[in-house]
Structure 1
Amino acid sequence: MGSPSSGPLPRSARATDIIRFYSRKLLVAAAAIISFTVLFLLYTRGSSLNLNYGSHRPQPISPSEAPDNKPPSPFHPHSHDNFIHLDAIKEFWAPWASAILASKPPIPEITVRMPHSNLGVSEEEARKPRTPPANLINLSPSEMSNLTEAHASFMGNLAAYKYPDRDVNSLFHHRGVVTVAGGEYFGPAIVGIHMLRASGCDLAVEAFVQNWDEYEPELCEEYLPKLNARCLVIEDFLSAHVDKALEVTHYQLKSLALLFSSFRDVLLLDSDSIPLVDPAKLFQSAAYKTTGFVGWSDFWKSSETPSFWTIAGLPSFPANLPSPCSESGQIVVDKMRHLKTLLLATYYNIWGPKWFYPLLSQGALGQGDKNTFETAAVVLNSPFSRVPKGVKSVSRRTGERGAVKGSAMLQFMPENILPDGMNEGLEVIPTSDRPAFIHANTPKMNAGHLVDEGDLVTDEGRHLRLWGSKEDQVKIFGEDLEKRVWLIVKETGCELANVVKEWKDRKHLCKRLKEHWNEVFG
């Protein structure tokens, strides 16, 4: 007797086998398509959020654990967990975006009768508390009432927010450095990151760009990861229907970068603020251990209208505020202790250009986001600290009879550094006379702009130093700092002349950088 399968099958059985055969083929094909789609999406989108958390959400850490709690280096540019963090941040941010929009000031743009004078602060004045500046804004009683109501509305949201620790624990961990790059800010940011590594700092860096037009794949996916840095795209965290109404640009980007970064303990650096010491030491300062917020002074007396404090709900002008206004070229902040501070600062920055910047600066030089972070801490009665040693000017002379122009702001270390893991009250290391940052804002260390905009030569056409003589720099920094920074400017400018988007059309960039180097430092 033949086997049961040796003869022809009935029609129904053959149809069933055919269906099974093609079903298996379809399943295999579908699996292949799904796998390819997932890999494609991870490759094409994952690079904007190089967040490498492993297989779990971030977990909180104590400050003393931080030296051993760095994300892997270099970051993987296409991590699946990027999407987990992105979704979690978007979920966290969405109600706050709505709250900020709902609390938009319902009044016309604030104007000033005349810009507030830019008054310098002597060392003696800097030791005295702030006195109320003159009121120079145009604001009617009804406008002030409406603005006070809008501010109170957002403050009500903050008061009802009872679980910031939970959000911090689930969203943020590690220590790290955050900067806003993109476009013309990529150049100085790259110099700053190289100086960060030269200081011995291995903290991870997150460089935020505003949108995908500013995202440069070769920089973000090849060059920066080698420096333990990655790019994040701010628009990826935003919702189209709400955040579009918030008009997020320029100064607003810094406060959002602070909120959206993956770090809990953050050094926020302007792209043109160059670290001169290992910033990890800042997290060990007595000021940071005590308050979780360390800021630095600007050159000028604070110039906010006293009316601001009434609008913010304070009963009177705050006592014992520092006399100089603050600057935001560098801020050190613990998001566990200051998440509400950052949310309120974001509210001030979103509605800053038309309302809160005039209130906080009254048209004085440098009006922008610089006062918003510290002011938010004051309004919330949250602890903060200001580095006592004031900012110093770094300048250059433009010619034999030329004017003296400011080139940079020199900021110093906090007064005392605690050995890692120790608490306040134990032996401290005095550091207050040591330069911590050179905020090179005029001009910025952008290789392309430096050679094209005339800042490198005197009125007579002679190449010049930007930060003073070699002898003066050795006295201040213990070395020829400008030469060290310019070596990075020259080398990165030559290496990336055809990589950085805004440098590609600048003719003979490398040659011109070398010419300046040879004339000044050779």
Structure 2
Amino acid sequence: MRVTLRRQLILVVVLLTLTVLWYTNPRLIGADRLSAFSSEHGLIPQFPHLRSSPIDPHVLSIRRFWSPWATTIQDSAPQVDPVNLVYSANIIKPVNDGPREIHQNLVSISDEDEASLRAAHAKLRTVLDAYDHLEDAESHFSGTGVVTVAGGEYFGPFLAGLHMLRSTGSSLPVEAFLADSSEYEAALCEKVLPSLNAKCKILADFLQASNSTATKFKVEHYQLKSLAILFSSFTHTLFLDSDSIPLLDPAVLFSTEAYTSTGFIGWPDFWTATESPIFYSIANMTFPSDLPATSSEAGQLLVDKSRHLKTLLLAAYYNIYGPDWYYPLLSQGALGQGDKNTFETAAIVLGLPYHRVRTPVATVGRMDGREVKGSGMIQHHPNPPSRGEGKDSAPMPAFLHANTPKMNAGHLVDEGDLQDTHTAKHLRLWNSKEEAEKMFGEDLERRVWKEVVEVGCAHAKEVREWKDRKRLCERLHEHVKAVFGD
């Protein structure tokens, strides 16, 4: 009896402690995630009025905006089994960038399932076509800014890219979206980012709409990007992957003719587009005759929500139902399958204007022994002013999508990318100094490493993923000295 009473007292103390934590620091016990979970399953009562600080007004605004669309997207969900591929499409570099040819169909799907997908797509289109988006665009969004998806291993390259953004002279505000409260790092979100005119946004907060349908979507990895762009507070939005590094102040891109005339700028990938012709049947349209030969690359994207809110809603649909249906339909298993084609395709399906940058993507790489390894993709100014004169002139680089390896200070020193696998000699990642100066007008790699070292040394004990890495700052300096001599 005494043991039972003691257990009851312990349980009461634990419950009281959790209650105090809930009142004073809901993020500490994952209240945001618990609230989303309870909305779907009805297991835990929600007490939104008990938050320790007021909810961001923008979050409440987007919840009101998103709730009916969550219902519409849920009601338009595919009702068939996931799409299967006979085999994956080959990746081929086109000879030129247009016009696109219809790719061979590699999707295995019955006529009945194709008709069902067409009906589901048409159901959403009916609502989109009747939607007067301007009032929502003016009510929920304003200003110009940069959006990214960070958290976990993506905080490292994002911090380096944010430092590079500021080094260009850009003062654009930045919103970094995290999947849920488990990715929230107080030291970064409450101190480091605000000092650089950036802030953390938790995607799960926006999905806690009054309609519980909104919490039923499982979104992760590639799918996060479409909702981050849609939920961001900006009207004029530059999305950057966490590993896409701006090389100029991106504010100038919003005043280019390409943007002012269309409200949408996308960049090319290396490879020929490989979407299934069945996709166009599902979208109830004929194959467009004026598409570029290459698929699109979404490491950077400019969107005006006052003109393309419908585009972003349709892109969200393609991403929410991407892994099982629209990713294989739009890429057929080719390299990089994911969100990359969904945004431009949404504009094409809706017949809205868009601009695809015409300058082909260029590469930077490193020599590992006798093997050349690609390290990043150079994307160019959409209405390119030339750098240089005469035969040496070249379109101006605007972004370097440094995806292999990413400029994550902790990963770089621990995962072997900085040294030759045969000799252990420290390597340049982005071509020789001479080639870099020809491409960028400077030794860009040296400039970026300055930011990587500054970030790595300043935040080695703050970034959660770096805390247990030994001698991080010293090893970054050792690499810089070995490669650049200082």
Give the TM-score of the pair, scaled to structure 2: 0.86
Give the gaps of 5 or more residues in structure 1: 1-36, 49-77, 418-430
Give the gaps of 5 or more residues in structure 2: 1-20, 33-51, 386-392
1:412 is aligned, of 380, 383, 403, to 380
Q: State the identity %.
A: 54
Contact kept? 1:112, 1:358, Cα under 8 Å: yes
Q: CA deviation at 1:497?
A: 0.7
Give runs of aligned pairs for residues 302-341 of structure 1, distance below 5 A: 302-314=273-285, 316-341=286-311
Q: Which amino acid aligns with 2:401?
A: H
2:426 is aligned, of 450, 460, 463, to 463
Q: Secondary structure at the match of 1:307?
A: helix
2:201 is aligned, of 228, 232, 240, to 232
Structure 2 partner of 1:157:
127
Q: Which amino acid aligns with 1:487?
A: K
Q: Distance in 2 between matches of 1:452 and 1:44?
A: 30
Q: CA deviation at 1:414?
A: 1.1
Structure 1 partner of 2:436:
473
1:134 aligns with 2:104: yes
Structure 1 partner of 2:348:
378
Q: CA deviation at 1:41?
A: 7.8
What is the CA deviation profile of residues 446-474 of structure 1, one whole-angstrom value per residue up to 9, with x for unaligned ones? 01111111100002211000001111101
Structure 1 partner of 2:17:
none
1:491 aligns with 2:454: yes
Contact kept? 1:413, 1:434, Cα under 8 Å: yes
Q: Distance in 2 between matches of 1:103 and 1:477?
A: 47
What is the CA deviation profile of residues 15-60 of structure 1, one whole-angstrom value per residue up to 9, with x for unaligned ones? xxxxxxxxxxxxxxxxxxxxxx9x9689999xx9xxxxxxxxxxxx
Q: Which amino acid aligns with 1:514?
A: H
Q: Distance in 1 between matches of 2:92 and 2:77?
A: 32
Structure 2 partner of 1:202:
171
Structure 1 partner of 2:265:
294
Q: CA deviation at 1:188?
A: 0.5
1:98 aligns with 2:71: yes
Structure 1 partner of 2:313:
343
RMSD: 2.2
Q: Which amino acid aligns with 2:378?
A: L
Q: Distance in 1 between matches of 2:437 and 2:79?
A: 54
Structure 2 partner of 1:251:
222
Structure 1 partner of 2:15:
none
Q: CA deviation at 1:121?
A: 2.0
What is the CA deviation profile of residues 395-445 of structure 1, one whole-angstrom value per residue up to 9, with x for unaligned ones? 11111x3x211100000001258xxxxxxxxxxxxx970000000000000
Structure 1 partner of 2:142:
173
User: Radius of gyration: which is bigger?
Assistant: 1
Q: Distance in 2 between matches of 1:234 and 1:449?
A: 25
Q: CA deviation at 1:79?
A: 8.7
State the number of aligned residues: 435
Q: Secondary structure at the match of 1:411?
A: strand
2:398 is aligned, of 426, 429, 436, to 436
Q: Which amino acid aligns with 1:467?
A: W
Structure 2 partner of 1:4:
none
Q: Secondary structure at the match of 2:182?
A: coil
Q: Secondary structure at the match of 1:106?
A: coil
Q: Secondary structure at the match of 1:213?
A: helix
Structure 1 partner of 2:13:
none
Contact kept? 1:415, 1:432, Cα under 8 Å: no
Contact kept? 1:276, 1:438, Cα under 8 Å: yes
1:389 is aligned, of 359, 379, 384, to 359
What is the CA deviation profile of residues 132-185 of structure 1, one whole-angstrom value per residue up to 9, with x for unaligned ones? 0111111111110111111111111212322x1111111111100000100000
Structure 2 partner of 1:20:
none
**Which stretch shows the higher mean deviation, 247-256 or 264-273?**
247-256
Contact kept? 1:412, 1:432, Cα under 8 Å: no
Q: Distance in 2 between matches of 1:450 and 1:143?
A: 46
Q: Distance in 1 between matches of 2:428 and 2:451?
A: 15
Q: Which amino acid aligns with 1:224?
A: L
Q: Distance in 1 between matches of 2:326 and 2:27?
A: 41
Q: Distance in 2 between matches of 1:324 and 1:291?
A: 20
Structure 2 partner of 1:67:
none
Q: Secondary structure at the match of 1:170?
A: helix
